[in-house]
Amino acid sequence: MKSPEKSIDLTHKTIVVMYMLYFGDMISITPFLEILRRAADHSKIILVIDSRFQDALRYNPDIDEIVPFDRHGSQKSLGATWKAGRKLAEQNPDILITLHGTARTSVMAWAMHPRFWAGEAGTEIDRFLMDLPMTIETYDCHAVDKYIHVLQRMGVQDLKHSGMKTYTCPGWEKEADEFFTASGIQPGERLAGFSAGSSTPEKNWPAEKFGQTADFFAGRGYRPVFFGIESEKGLVSRAVSAMSRKGAVSAAGKLSMGGFIAAAGRCSLFFTNDSGPMYVADSRGVPTIAMFGPSNAKFHHPLGPFSTALSSWDMPEGPEHVNQNIKTGRYVPIENISVDDVIGAGLAAEKKAGIIHSGGASGTKSRSEK
């Protein structure tokens, strides 16, 4: 238990949280937001995030306003960053929390002039300007917990949370329904989700092994659904080609981010690499089996009660970055994880979650908790 460095009154305030990382990262801060919402009674919580990933948190009830920032497009320049900070200054922010510091967050913070500034510094200058600078990446806990520790160091004592969460809307649910109907999936049909891609090839468990795993669970009454973005269609084709059974569905490039979030929540099991879809499936309450190679499962594993992570090696805790691990080659390749191990993890999750085995490809049993 980390000791609080300051006890900050979070009630009746305008609080700005800046966090401009990636899809899965957005979902990893949902427990932080849940705790902050509870501690910040009668406060307005504003979240500044990368505009590409705003749908990950669009309907999160713990946020009052999302400010999307196009950091790779129209707002790429420091001038545009300063302008965005000045716009936020119009809301008279009482508290600013930077969860990931960069030169960009520094410029925005300087323009914003918050009354109290806590979190991670983006430049060395920030440490002279911040009220509570802290090192957030300590390499000794799960990614979710490192953000919760920020609130703990600000004096928040009630740190309980309900895990990572994502939320949908009727429009996204309709998009998922229409896709499933067009794909010949019947209402109540039991689905196994698969995501064979990630941000880099070294993090990808072989597509053919995904196909072999899908083949096995198709034999247990699941309809395999392969999710992915447009550029991952090749991976999906390789996976499906490795199957002997027919009926697998490809959703690659066919769903919006919101539609994917809704569709993933319909699955009874989900198999994935360390990627944004891993966080989505787990946040939707789906038993998730995640494969790890150059990234550290100890820091990024799914948190659901029926979810599990399989790593190609026992990576030690300590300073690490997946890109550095890939560059140096100091890791065990992800393909060392066997199909039998992944199937075994899926069967264990199935049993733990109380999923009833229908015994054939035509089965339509749903998850007992759905």
Print pLDDT tens along the chain (370 aa).
Answer: 455 677 999 999 999 999 999 999 999 999 999 999 999 999 999 999 999 999 999 999 999 999 999 999 999 999 999 999 999 999 999 999 999 999 999 999 999 999 999 999 999 999 999 999 999 988 889 999 999 999 999 999 999 999 999 999 999 999 999 999 999 999 999 999 999 999 889 999 999 999 999 999 999 999 999 999 999 999 999 999 999 999 999 999 999 999 999 999 999 999 999 999 999 999 999 999 999 998 888 999 999 999 999 999 887 776 667 767 878 878 899 999 999 999 999 999 999 999 876 655 433 333 333 3
CA distance 130 to 120: 9
CA distance 210 to 236: 9
What CATH number matches the domain at 14-153, 3.30.1490.100, 3.10.20.30, 3.40.50.2000, 3.40.50.360? 3.40.50.2000
How many CB atoms are closer than 10 A to CB 41?
A: 10
Q: 118, 154 in Cβ contact below 8 A?
A: yes
170-353, what's its fold? Rossmann fold (3.40.50)
Domain with CATH 3.40.50.2000 in the chain: 14-153, 170-353
* pLDDT score recorded for residue 365: 34
Burial, 365: exposed, middle or buried (Cβ in 10 Å; 0-12, 13-18, 19+)? Answer: middle
Q: Is the alpha carbon torsion for 281, 284, 289, 291 positive or negative?
A: positive
Global pTM reads 0.91
CA distance 150 to 218: 44
* pLDDT score recorded for residue 120: 97
- Residues 6+ positions from 79 with CB-CB distance below 8 Å: none
What's the number of CA atoms in the CB half-sphere (13 Å) around residue 211? Answer: 18
* pLDDT score recorded for residue 358: 63
Helix-helix angle 257-264:170-182, to 10 degrees: 70
pLDDT tens readout for residues 140-165: 899 999 999 999 999 999 999 999 99
Burial, 338: exposed, middle or buried (Cβ in 10 Å; 0-12, 13-18, 19+)? Answer: exposed
Partner residues linked to 155 by β-bridges: none
